[in-house]
Amino acid sequence: MLYINNIIKKLPYTDPFLFVDGLQSVTENTIEGSYTFKKDEFFYMGHFKEHAVTPGVILTECCAQIGLVCLGIYLLDGQEETTGNFQVALSSSEMQFLLPVYPLEKVTVKSNKVYFRFNKLKCEVKMYNQQAQLVCKGVLSGMLKNSDI
């Protein structure tokens, strides 16, 4: 199985669109990871004029990168021989936003697999702030594959 620290290296993202700092745990059914939003992230400049708030689409992306893609990479590695070149397509998202996330806040994403078959992964995701308050939650689905196979 793929060692936990190598999962992030296999992500098909890089700065400024990588929203994973670390993974705390991963199993065949769950994953937990975190990200700290830097004060100079590209999306804060215009969202909003006087008081920067992390856009919901970025919170969704952070949840997808940790809760769907990282877990999918782990699961694919257990199924087939992989080279580390993964392709990802988010197929559906249904998110509820409960609290704002501001610059310099660290968030933790916890994800539970609903199913994984025919390379389609569906997960229930939850994001928490540093005070362990639920920031957002939802269900994400996507298709994942090793692009070299």
Report pLDDT digits (tens) over 15-30: 999 999 999 999 999 9
Per annotation, catalytic residue among 9, 38, 47, 106:
47
DSSP state of 13: -
- 16-23: long-range pairs with CB below 8 Å, 24+: 16/41, 16/42, 17/61, 18/65, 19/58, 19/61, 19/62, 19/65, 19/66, 20/62, 20/65, 20/66, 20/70, 23/66, 23/70
Please indicate whether residue 47 is annotated as part of the active site.
yes
The pLDDT of residue 4 is 82
Residue 149 has pLDDT above 60, yes or no: no
**pLDDT tier at 2 (50, 70, 90 boundaries)?**
low
User: 4-146, superfamily in CATH?
Assistant: Hotdog Thioesterase (3.10.129.10)
Domain ranges of the chain: 4-146
Tens of pLDDT, residues 107-128:
999 999 999 999 999 999 999 9
Residue 78 to residues 19, 51, 65, 82, 142, Cα–Cα distance (Å): 24, 44, 19, 9, 18
